[in-house]
Copies of this chain bind each other. A is one copy, B any other.
Amino acid sequence: MNDNTISNLSVDCVIFGFDSEKLNVLLLERKLEAENGETVFCDHTLVGHHVRVGETLDESAARILEETTGLSNIYLEQFYTFGNPDRLKKPRAKLWLESIGRNPEERVISVGYFSLVNVNSVHVSYTERHASWFNLNEIEDLGFDHKEILNKALEALQTKIKTNPLAFELLPQKFTLSHLQKIYEVVLGIEIDKRNFRKKVSQVPYIVPLKEKQQKVSHKPAQLYMFSRDIFEATKKKDFNFSF
């Protein structure tokens, strides 16, 4: 297969999306049809692609993300590289690789990136393969070794969100404190006390209240906030700590 890519090097992206309630992952449908049109199997995989000649790994991840979501300038982080010789040796993987013209015997190593978006900023289903959001907790198995990659990505996200301002990448620009709290709860799998959470947030200078409230909600409308990266950069010390 010659499409100007490096045949044994790929990038897989774990695209996390928050929808005000749950943590979701963007997956592609992997449907293999026989010549007679019957479905041989249908499951899901992460978004990934072989790295192009002359393209850095970061550029490759950004390209994959943009091709799938239409988004650019998105938070992206390399978290681990998967290179077991047998990582593409499951029966379905072989069938699939053959069907798309890749050599199933070739050892491919994959560099894993995760990215963070708000689901409402994404209009999915750009490409030839159908993409859609899946609740993280309901993902059973994935094609290739992608479940393992997903697990490792979640671990990396959990570690990093405790000490870095990643939560804001999952939110729209203007957000409520309840949504911010929910992110820490669903990402870390814990419950947080509302009053303690708000006390902590109020001590943080770069989470700034706006002169605006929620509209059209059938309950008391919440104050909106935004994240100021400028204030964050100016005031951050070694001790950012969002571990609960």
Contacts and interface: CB of A to CB of B under 8 A. Distances in A.
Q: Quickly give the copy total for this chain.
A: 2
Contact of A107 (B6, B80, B85, B111): B6
A139 to B, nearest CB: 23
A241 B244 CA distance: 12
Interface in A89-111: 107, 109, 111
A73 interface: no
B85 A56 contact: yes
Given A78-B80, A80-B78, A85 B54 contact: yes
A49 to B, nearest CB: 14
B84 A81 contact: no
B107 A81 contact: no
A9 B55 CA distance: 16
A56 B8 CA distance: 14
Residue among A53, A111, A241 with the highest chain B CB neighbour number at 10 A = A111
A155 to B, nearest CB: 13
A205 interface: no
A70 interface: no
A81 B83 CA distance: 11
A84 B55 CA distance: 8
Contacts of A85: 53-56
Interface string A12-51: 0000000000000000000000000000000000000001
A166 interface: no
A170 to B, nearest CB: 21
Interface in A185-244: 239, 241, 243
A57 interface: yes
B8 A9 contact: yes
Residue among A8, A56, A83, A107 with the highest chain B CB neighbour number at 10 A = A83
A239 B57 CA distance: 34
